[in-house]
Structure 1
Amino acid sequence: MFNMIRREGFIIWPAYFDRALSWREGRRVPLRLSSRSPTVERLNKAAQKLGWYVKVEVAAHPKTHWRKTGRLIVKPDKPLSKQHVIKILAQELLRQETKEL
């Protein structure tokens, strides 16, 4: 047997929101909610705006182990599924992009 590392919150990768990636390559939101250039910094800003606990870590997504994009550990203020957290973050990221234009 092995021991699993328990984390508080969900691990969120920028690849989940990247419009340039396919589902197979790691995108987890529909194209209408995807972003042109998701970064850990922008995701961090979106999660903080939602009032969630966020911790940024330097790491590489397993499917692109050569590219260190970083990742977030996000803990929402109320119980949500990981997929719901990803969808809410995608919507907030889109709002930020719209404001920047």
Structure 2
Amino acid sequence: MVENVIWPAYLDADVSRSKGRRVPLDIAIDEPTVEEIAAAAQQVGYDAVIERDQTYPREYERRGRVLIKDADDASKNDLVQAIAAYVTALRE
């Protein structure tokens, strides 16, 4: 079982690449929440667990993180980009 950690900073349009953003700006999201990330991960077909008391090492604000379980079939980059696309779709 592989667990992937998805931090909101990976998808945040206000975060630079050097500070942790992993998606291009055209699919990045303004202030993503762990709830949106978890909902998008479930839409993609993965089990998601929210951990609210975690802080991304490059940030001071405690925004939490999402653990994605059993994502053996996708690379982390593909997973993060798919979640970013679904969060955008959920907001529309």
Q: TM-score, normalised by structure 2?
A: 0.90
Q: Which has the larger radius of gyration?
A: 1
CA distance in 2, matches of 1:21, 1:85: 19
Q: CA deviation at 1:76?
A: 4.9
Q: Is the 8 A contact 2:2 2:70 kept in 1?
A: no
Number of equivalenced pairs: 91
Higher relative contact order, structure no. (Cα contacts within 8 Å, ≥ 6 residues apart): 2
Distance change in 2, residues 1:37/1:8 (3 Å):
same
Name the residue aligned to 2:73: 79
Query: 2:73 aligned with 1:62, yes or no?
Result: no
Q: 2:4·2:76 contact (CA, 8 Å) conserved in 1?
A: yes
Runs of 5+ consecutive residues of structure 2 not aligned to the other structure: none
1:68 counterpart letter in structure 2 = R
Please show how residues 14-93 of structure 1 align to structure 2 within 5 Å.
14-57=8-51, 58-64=53-59, 66-76=60-70, 79-93=73-87
For the aligned residue pairs, the C-alpha RMSD in angstroms reads 1.5
Give the aligned partner of residue 95 of structure 1. 89
- Deviating beyond 4 angstroms after TM superposition, the runs of 4 or more aligned structure 1 residues are none
Query: 1:26 offset after TM fit, Å?
Result: 0.9
Q: 1:77 to 1:24 in 2, by over 3 A?
A: closer
**Structure 1: 5+ residue stretches without partners:** 1-6
